[in-house]
Structure 1
Amino acid sequence: MVASISARKSVGAAVSYFKHMAQDEYYTGTGEADAEADGEWDGRGAERLALVGPVSKADFEAALNGIDPKTGERLTQIGKSHAPGWDMTFSAPKSVSVMWALSPPADRKTIEAAHRLAVHAATTHLEDHHAFTRRGKGGAIREPVAGLTIARFHHHTSRDLDPQLHTHAFIFNTAPRRDGTWGSLVSRDLYKAQKQAGAVYREYLANQLERDGHAVERYGIGFRLKAIPRDIERAFSKRRQAIEQAADTYGYRTPKGMELAALRTRQAKRPRERAALFQAWQAEARTLGFDVARARQQQAQVGGQTHHVPIRGPQVRTRSPARILPSAQQLIRAIALASRASSSMPGVQVNLRQNAGERDNDRER
């Protein structure tokens, strides 16, 4: 599970990004009631611009150019030396994605809702604590913004068509100040806050899934769902396996080498009808001898939380003493202390990758 950030270095590149985000989904039009829009607006900056609901290309491009999409008023001047925005991507743990893929439709909606709310919690944390703009000669005056303008795009598969819940949150380089004027963002603060945003996302998602009845196993500041065995996670991580095979073939051992292995095995995403993918995933699980309902029932019987397990017949519920969970702020403070030593290093792009599994989770997208 990863929170990563990268800049779109020109308006043209960002427009291409929008086309990719809007089209790069695994299902074609199926008429399903739960089929989502291409994207959705988020953030208090979007609210000020009356941007709600689906993201249109025209509104996206106007915001890229620092223009109010509704009135045509210029908000900020986007120069050639300024990035028009940044893609901050939040990716769920593989066990969460597998649980989503193998669950009944109602439970899929609950898991996906938890993921989206966790993304919103993380971007709201950025908006409230780590978004700054400059004004004055040479940008000498630095001040907090009154909100961010964000377009979110929700995707569900890896490039090898394995389940992989992830959301691209595009943060526009134009934000309202508290006096009503607009300015460009200080990008370094967003990069420095990447780990904290990831911590908020993880903590919110883990707690929400736990409240929804899933048994959660925590490790460090990460987590996984206990009902999904690690060998099942790996079976649904074909992208990861391809990267590992390429690394062995070419002798890659360093983090840079693993990135090269990821690039060597990178494929264009292949559209496929939604229902067919769920059928394929469920058939693969049956071939592996795995039944998600049975696994959740077993976890409910031996686990520690109150569970509402979706199985055929009556729901199974077990109850145990409450756990004391670390708060988001406790996690954030711990991460901030751990990252201070690197905050003065040159360069601002930092990838949040907690372990080998999470690195591969990021590369699968």
Structure 2
Amino acid sequence: MVASISVRKSVAAAAAYYQHMGKDDYYAREGEAPGRWEGRAAERLSLEGSVSKSDFEAALEGLDPRTGERLILANGIAHTAGWDMTFSAPKSASVLWALSNENQRMTIEAAHQKAVNKALNHLENNHAWARRGRRGGTKERTAGLLVAAFDHHTSRDFDPQLHTHAFIFNLAPRHDGSWGAIVGRELYLAQKEAGLVYRAEFANGLERSGIDITREAESFRVTAIPRNVERAFSKRREAIENAAETYGYSSAKGMEMAALRTRKPKQEMNREALLSMWREEAKILGFDLKRQRIHAPKAENIQERGANNSLEMRSKLRAKAAQIQPEKHAEMQPKKVIRPPNIARLLQRLAATLDGPSRMSGIRFSLRQKERNLERE
């Protein structure tokens, strides 16, 4: 599932979630911040850059992390702290990221993050509602969402899996400047739509960077990654699907249970070890990324190739024309019309030639007489 959503009901559970997010990325570089602030509500609270534990917990309590001002009443366990909406890259994109050089990985990560931000912005503009009034019976559009985004790169089975956990706080500004809880049901209803926005923008971002992709229905694949390699790097997904089949799970809640049943204890592996392991796995599969055509042909190359094809076609036509045999060539020429000779004119010319003093006067007379006879006819 490209976009999934799960609730964190209590403040305590959400605080533990923050700790989990900070430790759950086996790829994380030393000293790397565990998350980043996103959403227009973060701008209102002057929250930017990395997400600190104190700011995260203050927002969970309904407080302004900068001033300590109470924005909404926190109801302890009865108050839903927020929702984790996770955006996961198609497996072929994650495999490409894992087997690429550092610059290419940064390009793919940037395209992924931009796609996540566009999906979150879509939620803010179309599906974010705040509660107002007695027991939150009235709902109205919010002026933004407060989101802490955590970028992760691996699955628990150490497969490459580029994904982002976007924690949406149950705290949003209204257009009149006040704050309130949000309507969680609207987020669930928008889950699929947000996933579509994410995938479309991610695909466009990869294409803009020159990476060749193949679009498939509502998703896409990186063309250079064969399906057997994609499946080989999907051990976590295979384990969840096997568990779902074993226990008869089919609903979204059931798949979540299957994921919990197959979850392995966290282990540590540094970044370089992971990259080396992924390259070795690809080698065992007989796959060499360097031998694949990753980037799509550039527009100018396509035009040049079209021009070359045109020249080649003209050359072939010329060669074919040169092979035409002379007699066939003559047959193709328009035939001359042979007109019958003018007998009267020929006789006149002959008479003029013979006209003169000669002993052949009888003959001259006979010829002229013949000419007059022909003219009368």
Q: Under TM normalisation by the shorter chain, which class is it?
A: 0.7 to 0.9
2:172, 2:23 → 1: CA distance? 27
CA distance in 2, matches of 1:176, 1:37: 26
On the 8 A contact 2:27/2:154 being kept in 1, the answer is: no
In the alignment, does 2:298 pair up with 1:306? Answer: yes
Is residue 214 of structure 1 aligned with residue 211 of structure 2?
A: yes
Q: Higher RCO, 1 or 2 (CA under 8 Å, sep at least 6)? A: 1
- Residue 18 of structure 1 and its aligned partner are, at CA, apart by 0.3
Amino acid paired to 1:198: G
Shift in CA distance, 61/283, structure 1 to aligned 2, threshold 3 Å: same
Aligned to 1:106: 103
**1:223-238 residue pairs with structure 2 within 5 A?**
223-238=220-235
Distance 1:318 1:164, change over 3 A: farther
Distance 1:102 1:145 in 2: 42
2: CA distance, partners of 1:119 / 1:60: 20
Q: Secondary structure at the match of 2:46?
A: coil
Question: Relative to total residues, which structure has the larger helix share, 1 or 2?
Answer: 2
Q: Give the Cα separation in 1 of the matches to 2:257 and 2:234.
A: 18
Are 1:25 and 1:271, in contact at CA under 8 Å, matched by a contact in 2? no
2:153 partner amino acid:
H
- TM-score, length of structure 1 as denominator length: 0.77
What is the one-letter code of the residue matched to 1:58? S
1:238-317 correspondence to structure 2 within 5 Å: 238-246=235-243, 250=246, 252=248, 254-255=250-251, 260-296=257-293, 300=296, 306=298
Summarize the Cα distance change of 1:231–1:73 in structure 2 as closer, same or farther, 3 Å threshold.
Answer: same
User: How far off is 1:294 after superposition?
Assistant: 1.6
Secondary structure of the structure 2 residue equivalent to 1:115: helix
Q: 1:144 aligns with which of 141, 144, 148?
A: 141
Q: Is residue 167 of structure 1 aligned with residue 164 of structure 2?
A: yes
Paired residue type of 1:223: F
Contact 1:28 1:272 in 2 (8 A): no
Secondary structure at the aligned position of 1:270 is classed as coil
Larger Rg, first or second structure (1 or 2): 2
Shift of 1:141: 3.0
Equivalent residue of 2:188, what SS?
helix
Matches within 5 A, 1:1-365: 1-27=1-27, 30=30, 36-79=32-75, 80-246=77-243, 250=246, 252=248, 254-255=250-251, 260-296=257-293, 300=296, 306=298, 318-319=301-302
Give the secondary structure class of the aligned counterpart of 1:142: strand
1:247-306 Cα offsets, whole Å, 9 max, x none, are: 66x374745766554333211232211011101111111121111122125x74xxxx53
Residue of structure 1 in register with 2:375 after alignment: none
Q: Which amino acid aligns with 1:63?
A: A
Q: Is the 8 A contact 1:161 1:270 kept in 2?
A: no
Runs of 5+ unmatched residues, structure 2: 305-377
Q: Deviations over 1:332-359 (max 9, x none)?
A: xxxxxxxxxxxxxxxxxxxxxxxxxxxx
CA contact 2:27–2:153 (8 Å) conserved in 1: no
Residues of 2 paired with 1:184 and 1:13: CA distance?
18
Output the CA distance in 2 between the equivalents of 1:5 and 1:202. 16
